[in-house]
Structure 1
């Protein structure tokens, strides 16, 4: 934390640069960060909410949108973080600074987009379903835990891809089945006849408790279970510690391999 505080200006500049650079010269500019996930959500809703009706949940479009916006943040952050160290190779070779700042800035950019889109979805969900309740006070803590969880994964993915260039393609391929196995189009409770499958989707899949916790707060208006809250906090702490340990263990050779 002391190092990150010392280099906070560099971190801020990397976030600003990442926001501006990706869509520089386009008509909509940084607005594309909002347009892209909205288009993806509309496409998924059309396929699985209109063409194929997979659930009988009330206000299913909102049920679906809450899950999708979380998944898009998770997947896009990992895919963007994977090549981030290679993209900043020139800076790594020239300047000494905490290398964690690079994937951290990428995840933060995705988090900004996520919060804006989630805010839009949340307002509509709360107004339509009228799920205002004291449980909303827990939402910032769950979102902070989600950020930490994604950051830890991103640290690991970025440094591994810098050493082994197959990591990003493997990750991209793994995210597709992972997407359909996550409780986005359904709730784990919908699988009532297969307890083992329900348990795996709800607890073995690490992103599932975050989707369920946020959906329970916004869509249902209830606080997550104590087990669910404990899971998201512990998973976030473990992800950050493991990701940072792996990053620190492999970062010594970054200036040579990038």
Structure 2
């Protein structure tokens, strides 16, 4: 941690550079991060809320939007982190610094845009619901846990892709079915009565409790269950520890292979 603090200026510059590159030449800039889930929300609302009705939820577009923005942060952060070390190969070869700052900067940029969009969704949700519930105070804790969870996975994905270039395309292929199996369009009890299936969708899928926790606080205005809160905290801690261990164990040869 002390080493990372010494290189905090480099981390800040990497974040600034990532932000500039992400929106360089774009007229709408960060607004695209909101437009994209908005378009997806419309398409999926038409499909799952009108044509094929899976569930009955009040203000279903908002139900969809909360799930979508959480998923987009998760998926985009991982997909962007996979080639991050290769993209910064010249910097890695030139200077010694904590290599974790590179995927860390990518995840941080995604977190910044995600937080802005989530804040806008929150304003709309609160306006529609007409109340600001005390449960909202838990949102920062859940978001920190989500950030740590994604950062841990991003560390592992980035260093693994540097050694095995199939990781990014495999991840991209896995994320598509994972997306449709996640509780974005529905809650598990909306589509099955089987206990095993509901358990798998709610707890085996590691993203599901994070979606549920954010949705509970922002969309329902309620405190997530103790089981969900414990899950997100434990999952975040384990992902960060394991991801960092994998990264530290494989980073020795980065200057050679990038």
Q: TM-score range by the shorter chain?
A: over 0.9
Structure 1 residue 30 displacement after superposition:
4.4
TM-score (normalised: structure 2): 0.95
Compared CA separation, residues 64 and 30, structure 1 to 2 (3 A): closer
Q: Match for residue 63 of structure 2?
A: 63
- 1:193-208 equivalences under 5 Å are 193-208=193-208
- 1:73-222 equivalences under 5 Å are 73-222=73-222
| 1:23 and 2:3 are equivalent in the alignment | no
Does structure 2 conserve the Cα–Cα contact (< 8 Å) formed by 1:19 and 1:30? no
CA distance in 2, matches of 1:242, 1:232: 15
How many residues end up aligned between the 2 structures?
A: 258
CA distance in 2, matches of 1:241, 1:120: 32
Structure 1 residue 240 displacement after superposition:
0.3
Query: Secondary structure in 2 aligned to 1:127?
Result: helix
TM-score (normalised: structure 1): 0.95
How big is the alpha-carbon RMSD for the aligned residues of Structure 1 and Structure 2?
1.5
Q: Match for residue 250 of structure 1?
A: 250
Structure 1 residue 123 displacement after superposition:
1.0
Structure 1 residue 136 displacement after superposition:
1.0
Runs of at least 5 residues in structure 2 that lack an aligned partner in the other structure: none
Compared CA separation, residues 131 and 52, structure 1 to 2 (3 A): farther
Structure 1 residue 192 displacement after superposition:
4.5
Deviations 1:96-131 (A, max 9, x none): 000000000000110011011111111111121235
* Structure 1 moving runs of 4+ over 4 Å: none
CA distance in 2, matches of 1:30, 1:95: 31
Query: Secondary structure in 1 aligned to 2:224?
Result: coil
